[in-house]
Amino acid sequence: MYKLNCIGILTSGGDAPGMNAAIRSVTRAAIFNHIRVKAIYRGYKGLITGEIKEFHTEDVSNIIQRGGTILKTARCQEFTTPEGRKIAYETMVREEIDALVVIGGDGTFTGARIFAQEYNVPIVGLPGTIDNDLCGTDSTIGYDTALNTIVEAVDKIRDTANSHERLFFVEVMGRDAGFLALNSALASGAEAAIIPEEQTNEEQLEELIKNGFRKSKNSSIVIVAEGGGGATALAERMKRDYPTFDARVTILGHLQRGGTPTAYDRIIASRMGVAAIDALLDEQRSVMVGLVHDELVLVPFTKAIKDDKPINKSKIGVLQILSI
């Protein structure tokens, strides 16, 4: 049993649209339940350096529509060490923080799980990552916005592809997960998606060519998940092995992380934030709030950070059918 008088909230890892909506939700849900809120800046780094400020309801006014995170985020090598985590715990004791809500991805939850084990700290996580690569949730905060950002960019690239009769490789984020690549390819009418869940990039390229890629089309767009050399390596191979193709590369990069969150991301962030406080009040710990079939669920950190979240490969068949 523990008395929940004060919670700490932080964002860690890569930023994702909707994080601010989650910060707002957690803060106001805590205050609604008469719990004080301490905002921890720059992720676990702020927990070590003591960069902490008490939040009131007005501190989270007018942020639901903003991208990024008002709490900032930073990688923290020191938190990966026992010495760093000891300092972090001492900060929590000094600041009278009873529990944590952490918003981030697998790295964030990995650190939280270890910290919770070592110091018996109640921690609830919210899935904030554009990659959608956490097990136990259909969607992560920021994924929908990033997907829409990619589709909007590809729509514009297609105008140039058509005008110049070119093949474009468009590289998107998702080094180990092809959710952004596959679904943005479907939504933008791309001819193919090259994703890490399938064969190697080179094998997938061979498959495209073998299947009569482009056929009678005067332009084509292939969405490529980053990693394994990404779009640049594929374009170079294309020029070398298939010189008849006029290939170009567009790397969307950090463009995908920014921007105003979609309504969907704002809604799930708001729902998950309230659920995080409810979970702490129910004395839950070391769990992530997930969304399955539009219902909120609690997923143990150990399950959430497995690196094998399955992708729906039937969508690859849909993409192949529609690309003729």
**What's the rounded Cα separation, in Å, for the pair 178 and 155?**
19
pLDDT of 62 reads 97
| Burial group, residue 112, by CB count within 10 angstroms (0-12, 13-18, 19+) | buried
State residue 197's pLDDT score.
Answer: 82
Spot the catalytic one: 15, 98, 106, 131: 131
According to DSSP, the β-strands at 52-55 and 36-40 are antiparallel
Structural contact between residues 26 and 273, judged by C-beta atoms closer than 8 angstroms = yes
Residues in a beta bridge with 38: 8, 54
241's enclosing H/E stretch is: helix 230-241
Q: What span, in angstroms and rounded, lies between the C-alpha atoms of 152 and 213? A: 24
The pLDDT value given to residue 220:
80
Query: What is the Cβ-side half-sphere exposure of residue 253, based on CA atoms within 13 angstroms?
Result: 5
Look up 159 and say whether it is catalytic: no
Q: What confidence score (pLDDT) does residue 261 get?
A: 98
| CA gap 195, 181 in Å, rounded | 7
Q: Which positions of the chain have pLDDT values less than 70?
A: 1-2, 164-165, 199-202, 206, 209-219, 307
What's the pLDDT score for residue 307?
65
